[in-house]
A and B are shown apart, each in its own frame.
Chain A
Amino acid sequence: MSAHTLVIGTGTANTASVLAGLRRVGADPELTQDPRAVQQAERVVLPGVGTFAAARAQLDQQATGQTSSLAQVVQERVRAGRPTLAICLGMQLLFDGSEENPEVPGLGLIPGRATRFSETVRVPQLGWNAVEAARGCEILQSGYAYYANSYRLVPAAPGWERATTEHDGPFLAACERGPIVACQFHPELSGDYGMGILERWLAAAREQEVRPC
């Protein structure tokens, strides 16, 4: 199959875990930092741990001879509704920004800003928490997912089907729109629950491929 799953190497992520997770559900993923490859790939994963500013800077780097940055091609993909999975910090990058680095803009694809958990809970949130998926979700389901985050999103994400989790109040666990999924938790580290999400995302992406335009 010519269809490719590319994982964007932001240089700050646990990409080995993401690659292994995708292999476990039958994908044949490769790591890339080439914007043209990301533009053309059937399926793209934007992982990310580390700081908001560092990850954004990686996406903005423009290689010589390239007309677009990674940030631009990710924006194009999401606007065009093409199969894309954003994980943890990768999800936060899709929004307007983060309290972590207030001066650094996000990709502006979904309205809202990430804010830090309050001091009433231990930060970072490290561990498993319950995810409650709305009825309209097709790829996301309710279950238990693994989180490793200090910042979270609480916006309404209009136009997206949402899943929520409770920690210092409710926050956005994940959201989906067609074959685009953004998860605050780590599906690649969330056991069978996470593998189910990866499988359904791959299946949704394949469905879109065969659909005539």
Chain B
Amino acid sequence: MLMPRVIPCLDVRDGRVVKGVQFQGLRDAGDPVQLAAAYQEQGADELVILDVSATPEGRANAAETVAAVREVLALPLTVGGGVRRAEDAARLLDAGADMVAVNTAAVERPELLSEMAARFGVQCTVLAIDAAARAQQPSSAPGWEVVTHSGVERRALDVIDWAREAARRGAGEVLLTSWDRDGTRSGYDLELLRAVSEAVSLPVIASGGADTAGHMAEALQAGASAVLAASIFHDAHTTVDAVKRALLQLGVRTRPSMESLA
């Protein structure tokens, strides 16, 4: 049986892991290679690196970071941030990524998803959606709109419609971040997860708001195939292994770590 994944996320800027609430007030959180190796040791199922550099120089560093992480990492690696064209994705894949996530560029030019899927395969093409609850509800139904440019721009684009269109165009996975919950540690947006997982048959990664294994179990229950978290791991607030043991207590089986197999 396919097992749900626990995925630590590294937000990387100019070669360093950073953290901040909704990308405001960034603080240094360590060396990406050291953190990647530590999470692998703890039993992470996959790693996501999001490049949040603001400058072209910072972006150039991202490929170096990916290459350095790849040398120590025997796990799947998804990389996103600043990918505008299939050529950018090719550079990250050459550096050692296995999957490439696109966000703003795909909203502006959805053909990017089809181009990546044709060239690298559907399983390599990840659509990252940053979702925010609509400020004004036209009806009582809950709704979310897509936000881009690291949360700066709200789009008049419905999250569910966008996920459906992306699936048609060749996305192989949705990395779904709740902009309302990101960094709040108040739990994932379960309604959002439920709505998107029901709308598409692609795997969905839950992101934004994780604090406890209980939050992760809820997200998986709501339809997510994987749960992503950043700050709770960087802070040594908890470890991947501890989260996985707690998940097992809650009845969620993930890939056992080597220790528990021995």
A interface with B by C-beta (< 8 Å): 12, 14-17, 20-21, 23-24, 49-51, 54, 89, 119, 121-130, 143-144, 146-150, 166-167, 186, 188-192, 194-195
Contacts and interface: CB of A to CB of B under 8 A. Distances in A.
B21 interface: no
B74 A167 contact: no
Interface string B1-31: 1111100000000000000000000000000
Interface size class of B (residues with CB under 8 A): 35 or more
A54 B96 CA distance: 21
Interface stretch (B120-128, B134-142, B157-165): B120-128
Of listed A12, A16, A24, residue having the most chain B CB within 10 A:
A16
A24 B122 CA distance: 28
10 contacts: A12-B120, A14-B97, A17-B96, A20-B73, A24-B74, A50-B121, A122-B203, A127-B225, A130-B1, A150-B123
B225 A129 contact: no
B136 to A, nearest CB: 33
B119 interface: yes
A146 B76 contact: yes
A49 B121 contact: yes
Contacts of B261: 143
B202 A122 contact: yes
Contacts, number: 118
B76 A186 contact: yes
A123 B75 contact: no
A14 B202 contact: no
Q: Which secondary structure dominates where chain A touches chain B?
A: mixed
Given A17-B98, A122-B202, A127 B75 contact: no
B248 to A, nearest CB: 14
B84 interface: no
B96 A127 contact: no
B242 to A, nearest CB: 18
Of listed A51, A124, A126, A129, residue having the most chain B CB within 10 A:
A126
A14 B95 CA distance: 9
Given A12-B121, A49-B98, 14 more contacts: A16-B67, A16-B94, A20-B96, A24-B71, A24-B74, A124-B202, A127-B2, A127-B226, A129-B1, A146-B76, A148-B98, A148-B123, A148-B124, A149-B123
Contacts of B75: 146, 189, 191
A126 B172 contact: yes
B169 interface: no
B170 to A, nearest CB: 11
Contacts of A186: 76, 98
A189 B96 CA distance: 11
A167 B172 contact: no
A191 B203 CA distance: 21
Interface in B36-53: 40, 45-46
**7 nearest A-B residue pairs (beta carbon):** A148-B123, A50-B121, A16-B96, A128-B255, A124-B123, A189-B76, A14-B98
Contacts of B225: 122, 126-127
Contacts of A126: 123, 172-173, 203, 225-226
